[in-house]
Amino acid sequence: MTRKIEVIPPQKIWLKQFEQEKSLLEEIFTKQIIAIHHIGSTAIKNIKAKPVIDILLVVKKIQIIDNYNQVMTKNGYECLGENGLLGRRFFSKGGDNRSHHLHVFQDGNPEILRHLLFRDFMNSHVEAAEAYSQLKIELANKFPEDAESYSAGKDEFIKNIDQQAEKWDAARSEQL
């Protein structure tokens, strides 16, 4: 079955869904956790998004996370290994009706800062967030059943925002 790409208006429930899943993850990973963050479009204020909660789990040792695959499966997650990104463990929940994506990185991985800066930059720059929201709508309309093309269509925009976010963060650090 092909997943339909649907971009919907922001939902107040997204934060609650994150908090509920965070509690579950804290029970599962206990002593491995350094931090748990809500990332992705559902963590950006007032933008349209696919209704999938992206969660960033920062852990002490990435290799140990593979030992949790069985318990994650019991809790509805599909364990997808690195899923194309070296040093990550990726889990998806909800099957064809995905509800959550869990991105697990070992403390110090540069992807952690990249994800957090993207979220924080977008929450501080309404125009950029609105442009991203519009792009997502256009891509969902153009590629309603083609997740690869939908993602590829966002790639250049995301890379551009990543660069802006790094400069923005450096400027904020200089002011401190």
- Whether 7 maps to a domain, the answer reads no
How does pLDDT run across 50-101, given as a tens digit for each residue? 999 999 999 999 999 999 999 999 999 999 999 999 999 999 999 888 999 9
pLDDT (0 to 100) of residue 175 = 80
- DSSP per-residue letters across 74-90: HTTEEE-TTTTSTTEEE
pLDDT (0 to 100) of residue 97 = 86
Q: Is the pLDDT of residue 1 over 60?
A: no
pLDDT (0 to 100) of residue 2 = 63
Under 8 Å between Cβ of 40 and 53:
yes
- Whether 90 maps to a domain, the answer reads yes
Q: Is the pLDDT of residue 163 over 80?
A: yes
Question: Containing domain of residue 108, as a range?
Answer: 13-175
pTM, rounded to two decimals: 0.95
Give burial (CB, 10 Å; 0-12/13-18/19+) of 163. Answer: exposed
Q: In this structure, what CATH number is given to the domain that contains residue 118?
A: 3.30.460.10
How does pLDDT run across 104-146, given as a tens digit for each residue? 999 999 999 999 999 999 999 999 999 999 999 999 999 999 9
Average pLDDT over residues 4-8: 93
Average pLDDT over residues 27-55: 97
- Whether 1 maps to a domain, the answer reads no
- Whether 3 maps to a domain, the answer reads no
- Whether 2 maps to a domain, the answer reads no
pLDDT (0 to 100) of residue 3 = 76
Count up the domains in the chain and report the number.
1
pLDDT (0 to 100) of residue 69 = 98
- Whether 115 maps to a domain, the answer reads yes
- Whether 18 maps to a domain, the answer reads yes
Nearest to 160 by CA among 123, 124, 131, 136: 131
Q: Is the pLDDT of residue 23 over 60?
A: yes
Under 8 Å between Cβ of 21 and 53:
yes
Average pLDDT over residues 39-45: 97
